[in-house]
Structure 1
Amino acid sequence: MNYRHSFHAGNSADVVKHSLLISLVRALQQKPGALTLIDTHAGCGLYDLGGDEAQRTGEARQGVLQAFADPNPLLDDYRAAVQAVNAASEPLLYPGSPQFLTQLLRQQDFLILNEKHPEDADTLRGVMRGTGAAVHQRDAYELWLAMVPPRTARGVVVVDPPYEQTDERARITATLSAAHRKWAHGVTVIWYPLKDSATHQRWKAQLRKLGIPKFLVVEHWLYDSEQPGIYNGAGLFIVNPPYTFMQTLPPLLEGLRAALAPEGHKGEIVCDWLGD
């Protein structure tokens, strides 16, 4: 599946991913110790919702625009982060994960961004100029393994690939296994699309064999039954989610489900441990 992000910026998957990312980092920041935030597939950092690529799919209408129209206060932090890069009340620009992460930084925290695509990396450097973020242009999986454990005691790795390569899942599995051996208490967030159920179930079985104890699965299904051959939603694997994050998760997930349900569908967000 080709998931070049400029075509999908601000869609329902972004709303869920970025809402949970805000909640996760803020839960970790309840302790004063420094965090290192690492984004392995950072993309451009900022996307034009009126641009040709975003307009071609129109996915923001069922994502960020629905979230902005929903009154649930649990989505206020997400909406505020999007609004921070927009002058108008309705979002015309969508922040990528690097922008969400830089808004969350405290003085003691560090942000490491990586984007292998040359044009996107150049754009990212321009978008992030003046933020203090370190921007790399390396193979994402090589960087992931090289950067852990970080210099700070705690940190988060965000892995958000386009799934353009047939071996993407295998590389994630192998790198996660090696990274976990180096940094067993580190927090890792891995995004994935939900399209081919059989492929996804095989991948989860492979990940289960890694034996990682605290391995959370959050899956957002847009439709009330699986629609073969099309995009059905997206999920996050979260390794070592903090306790305070888990406490706030159920009402946030319910708010997201309700806000993003397509017309005629209730949708579903499933949250469970991989080993269960």
Structure 2
Amino acid sequence: MNYRHSFHAGNSADVVKHGLLIALVRALQHKDSALTLIDTHAGCGLYDLNGEEAGRTGECTQGVLRVFADRDPLLDDYRAAVQAVNVGADAGEGPQLYPGSPKVLAQLLRPQDALILNEKHPEDAYTLRGVMRGTPAAVHQRDAYELWLAMVPPRTPRGVVVVDPPYEQTDERATITATLAAAHRKWAHGVTVIWYPLKERSTHAQWKHQLRKLGIPKFLNVEHWLYDSDQPGIYNGAGLFIVNPPYAFTQALPPLLEAMRAALAPEGHRGEITTDWLGK
């Protein structure tokens, strides 16, 4: 599956990914010690929902626009992060711009925190540098998996690595598995978030089995299935693997996930968001 950020900006996967990232980082910030936030596949950082690529798919209508129409207060933090890049826009028309993970993470930085972004694609990296101008983010243009291993453990006491590839390569999942195993050996207490698209449950179950075999003790899996049964050949949802999620995050997760499920359920489907521990 080729999952370029620009074609899918603001879709249901972005809602879940960014909503949970915000909750995760804020839970970690209950402690004053500094955090380093590392995004290995940063993309362009900011997307025009009316632009050619996002407009071609129109997926934001089933994602961020649904959340802006739903007033559940549990989704306020997510809405605020999107609204922050739409200052001055007509609120009645909904958001015109969508923040990628770099812009979302930059909003969460405290003075003691650091943000490291990486994008290998030359044009996207150039755009990213412009988008992040005026922020304290360091922008790299390197192989994502090489950077992941090079940056851990970070210089700060704690950190988060966000891995969000387009899954263009047939061996992407195997590469993630091997890199995660190596990174965990270097930085066993670090927090890692791995995003992935879902097409069919049976195929994904094989990857989950391989990850379970890594023996990582505190390994949470969150999956958002849009439809009540698999829809063959199409995008069915997305999930996150989260290594070492903080207690405050996991305790607050059930009502937040239910709010997301209710806001994003397609017409005629209830959908579901499940959690599962691969290791404890």
Instruction: State the TM-score bracket (shorter-chain normalisation).
Output: over 0.9
Alignment partner for residue 198 of structure 2, among 190, 194, 200?
Answer: 194
1:237 match? 241
Q: Determine if the alignment matches structure 1 residue 26 to structure 2 residue 30.
A: no
Question: What is the letter of the counterpart of residue 52 of structure 1?
Answer: E
1:84 match? 84
Q: Deviations over 1:159-202 (max 9, x none)?
A: 00000001100110000000000000000000000003332111
Unmatched tracts of structure 1, length 5 or more:
none
Q: Determine if the alignment matches structure 1 residue 214 to structure 2 residue 215.
A: no
2:141 match? 137
Question: What is the letter of the counterpart of residue 98 of structure 2?
Answer: Y
Q: Determine if the alignment matches structure 1 residue 265 to structure 2 residue 275.
A: no
1:44 match? 44
Give aligned pairs, total: 276
Alignment partner for residue 163 of structure 2, among 159, 167, 172?
Answer: 159
Question: What is the letter of the counterpart of residue 246 of structure 2?
Answer: P
Q: Determine if the alignment matches structure 1 residue 168 to structure 2 residue 172.
A: yes
Q: Deviations over 1:108-167 (max 9, x none)?
A: 000000000000000000000110100000000000000000001100000000000011
Alignment partner for residue 103 of structure 1, among 83, 94, 107?
Answer: 107
Question: How is 1:178-189 mapped onto 2 (pairs within 5 angstroms)?
Answer: 178-189=182-193
Deviating runs (4+, > 3 A) in structure 1?
A: none
Distance 2:271 2:172 in 1: 27
Question: What is the letter of the counterpart of residue 9 of structure 2?
Answer: A
SS in 2 for 1:200: helix
Pairwise CA distance, 1:274: 1.4
1:112 match? 116
Identity among equivalent positions (%) equals 84
Question: How is 1:250-261 mapped onto 2 (pairs within 5 angstroms)?
Answer: 250-261=254-265
| TM-score, length-scaled by structure 2 | 0.97
Q: Determine if the alignment matches structure 1 residue 53 to structure 2 residue 56.
A: no
| TM-score, length-scaled by structure 1 | 0.99
Unmatched tracts of structure 2, length 5 or more:
none
Q: Deviations over 1:215-269 (max 9, x none)?
A: 0000000001111211100000000000000111000000000000001111100
1:2 match? 2
Residues 46 and 97 in structure 2, CA contact (< 8 A), matched pair in contact too: yes
1:121 match? 125
Question: What is the letter of the counterpart of residue 48 of structure 1?
Answer: D
Question: What is the letter of the counterpart of residue 265 of structure 1?
Answer: H
Residues 36 and 116 in structure 2, CA contact (< 8 A), matched pair in contact too: yes
Q: Indicate the RMSD between aligned Cα atoms, in angstroms.
A: 0.8
Residues 200 and 230 in structure 2, CA contact (< 8 A), matched pair in contact too: no
Q: Determine if the alignment matches structure 1 residue 67 to structure 2 residue 91.
A: no
